[in-house]
């Protein structure tokens, strides 16, 4: 990239791409300058420090995660939205591990920090993904934390080669998402009908054929 075309946005994007290749922990201004065919001091005209670069990458990552989930669940609801959104996040982590790590580690530094609206976009995408379950408002934050914990843990373990047992990883992911889906449906039924023994909560649910099919966004 010619030096004259460098901008804060282009330097951030190049840094994010490099972080995906070599790992966020190995990213440095020197390596980025080498990638861009410039002297390291030239980068400081566009980002103030390596910490500033990392923060900009984090904002980029959170924006991209939010958009990936939003696009995946477009026109979907309930089980379909959950499956599509979960797969979108898993795919993002797999394709962009460096920038995802930056986004996961970053914290807002001021009230006007651009990271705040970026994170709010992620939360809005998660809320849209769950809207079809009609959760009680007091439960939503707990569900979102559960999903983040499960999907973050699965995706990062997968990227680190943590699943060594000879069982298909996609099948495991499908099973987990279906398990969460059934739990959310049960929670919704409990909220609607309470503990009434005649409510659907106490009846045997119909067989979900998705449990026996490979995972794919719907």
Domains in the chain (CATH in brackets) are: 1-48 (1.10.10.60), 62-212 (1.10.357.10)
| Residue 99 reports pLDDT greater than 50 | yes
Q: Residue 152 pLDDT > 60, yes or no?
A: yes
Confidence of residue 166 (pLDDT cuts 50, 70, 90): confident
Give the whole-angstrom CA distance, residue 93 versus residue 130.
20
User: Would the pLDDT of 25 be above 50?
Assistant: yes
pLDDT at 137: 84
pLDDT category of residue 1 using cuts at 50, 70 and 90: very low
Question: Is the distance from CB of 79 to CB of 182 less than 8 angstroms?
Answer: no
DSSP 33-69: HHHHTS-HHHHTTT-SSHHHHHHHHHHHHHHHHHHHH
Q: Name the pLDDT band for 22 (thresholds 50, 70, 90).
A: very high
**What's the rounded Cα separation, in Å, for the pair 31 and 10?**
15
Size of the chain in residues: 218
- Residue 151, pLDDT > 80, answer yes
In whole angstroms, what is the distance from residue 49 CA to residue 11 CA? 12
pLDDT digits (tens, 9 = 90+) for 169-209: 999 999 999 999 999 998 776 655 555 444 443 333 444 43
**3-17 tens-digit pLDDT:** 458 999 999 999 999
C-alpha 183: how far from chain center = 21
Which of 64-73, 82-91, 136-145 has the least mean pLDDT? 136-145
Closest by alpha carbon to 89, among 114, 50, 62, 118? Answer: 62
Element (H, E) at 134: none
pLDDT at 215: 27
Residues 78-100 have a mean pLDDT of 96
pLDDT for res 199: 41
| Banded model confidence at residue 139, pLDDT cuts 50, 70, 90 | confident
What's the pLDDT at 154?
96
Model confidence, pTM = 0.82
In sequence order, what are the residues at sequence separation of 6 or more whose Cβ sits closer than 8 angstroms to the Cβ of residue 102? 16, 19, 24, 54, 57, 58, 61
Nearest alpha carbon to residue 63 among 126, 128, 122 = 122
Per-residue pLDDT band for 123 (boundaries 50, 70, 90) equals very high
Share the mean pLDDT of the chain.
Answer: 86
Mean pLDDT of 32-44: 96
């Amino acid at each position: 990239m010619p030096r004259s075309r460098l901008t804060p946005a282009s330097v951030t994007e190049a840094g994010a791409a490099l972080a995906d290749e070599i790992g966020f922990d190995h990213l440095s201004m020197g390596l980025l300058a080498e990638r861009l065919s410039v002297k390291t001091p030239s980068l400081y005209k566009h980002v103030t420090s390596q910490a500033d670069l990392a923060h900009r990458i984090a904002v980029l990552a959170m924006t991209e995660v939010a958009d990936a989930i939003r696009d995946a669940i477009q026109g979907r609801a309930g089980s379909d939205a959950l499956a599509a959104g979960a797969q979108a996040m898993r795919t993002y982590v797999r394709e962009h591990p460096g920038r995802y790590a930056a986004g996961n580690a970053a914290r807002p530094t001021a009230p006007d920090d651009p990271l705040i609206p970026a994170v709010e976009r992620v939360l809005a995408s998660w809320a849209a993904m769950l809207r079809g379950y009609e959760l009680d408002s007091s439960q939503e934050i707990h569900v979102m934390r559960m999903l983040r914990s499960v999907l973050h843990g699965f995706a990062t373990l997968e990227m680190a080669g943590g699943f060594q047992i000879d069982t298909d990883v996609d099948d495991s992911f499908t099973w987990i998402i279906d398990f969460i889906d059934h739990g959310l449906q049960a929670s919704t039924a409990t909220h609607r009908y309470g503990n009434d023994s005649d409510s659907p909560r106490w009846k045997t649910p119909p067989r979900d054929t998705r449990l026996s099919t490979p995972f794919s966004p719907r």
